[in-house]
Amino acid sequence: MLPQEHLIARVVDLCRADARFDAVLQYGSFPQGSGDEHSDIEFWLFTSARIDPAEWCSRIAPITHHVRNEFGADVVFFEGLIRGEFHFAQDIAQVAEWLARGAPVDRMIVLDRTGALRRALDAVPLRPALPASAEVCGRFVNWLVLAHHVRARGEALRTADTMAHVRRHLLWMARLAEASTDHWLTPSRLAEQELPPRRRLDITTPEAAWRAGRALWLELDCPVPKALFAELDAALPYVATT
């Protein structure tokens, strides 16, 4: 067993023995069946009790650090740099608002004292609804034009940050073109395995992004805004291929 699997088993035992929890679910790689030695362990724990997250997580195994992340989750680090993400919450019904669950319901439920968690999870699709290709292309060019302008202003760090959004949208476009959308919400997840080399789009400049995005836009047969294409071709010189 992987160290993460031992930790997961310990979480399950602790949760089922703790009457303060109304429901607990596991999400992420392990219930999806793709967990490996680099994967996190991730849980939502529903309770109305006041719980000290660091103290509770230290019952799983010794922790080396605890931090509340920007999304409100409590993140702890176990020996071996294993990351654990724990959301302590009250409202089980919020689960029904998720875009997708990503794993079978039975593999996600750790504890469900009233059945409310299963009802909420059953309301969530396994995979997210995909946006229209034209919508994704439009969002790509939105970030691309911003990257072009901030670079021209001389903001190198902001350009690099904006290009991360550009690349994410290029990956979404590539996944649509390849009909490889299982990891839609995190398009870089397993991209090296799921996309051919020409689709990995490890680019750093707006020019390269426009070359790749322009080709994908046409391949996806999205409506072409001719005036915008002409301006981008001039601002970010596009070299046609035969």
Confidence of residue 110 (pLDDT cuts 50, 70, 90): very high
- Structural domain contains residue 165: yes
**Residue 103: CATH number of its domain:** 3.30.460.10
Residue range of the domain that includes 167: 133-235
- DSSP 8-state class, residue 66: E
Q: Are residues 168 and 111 part of one domain?
A: no
Residues 176-192, mean pLDDT to the nearest whole number: 94
* Residue for token pair 């302008």: 149
Assess whether pLDDT exceeds 90 at residue 15.
yes
Q: Are residues 11 and 94 part of one domain?
A: yes
**Lowest-confidence pick of 82-91, 134-143, 233-242:** 233-242
pLDDT tens, residue by residue, 44-92: 999 999 999 999 999 999 999 999 999 999 999 999 999 999 999 999 9
CA–CA separation, 134 and 176 (whole Å): 11
Cβ contact 127:184 at 8 Å: yes
Q: Are residues 150 and 118 part of one domain?
A: no
**Residue 191: CATH number of its domain:** 1.20.120.330
**Residue 36, burial from CB neighbour count under 10 angstroms (0-12, 13-18, 19+):** exposed
Residues 85-106, mean pLDDT to the nearest whole number: 96
**What is the phi-psi region of residue 203: left when phi exceeds 0, alpha when psi lies from -120 to 50, beta otherwise?**
beta
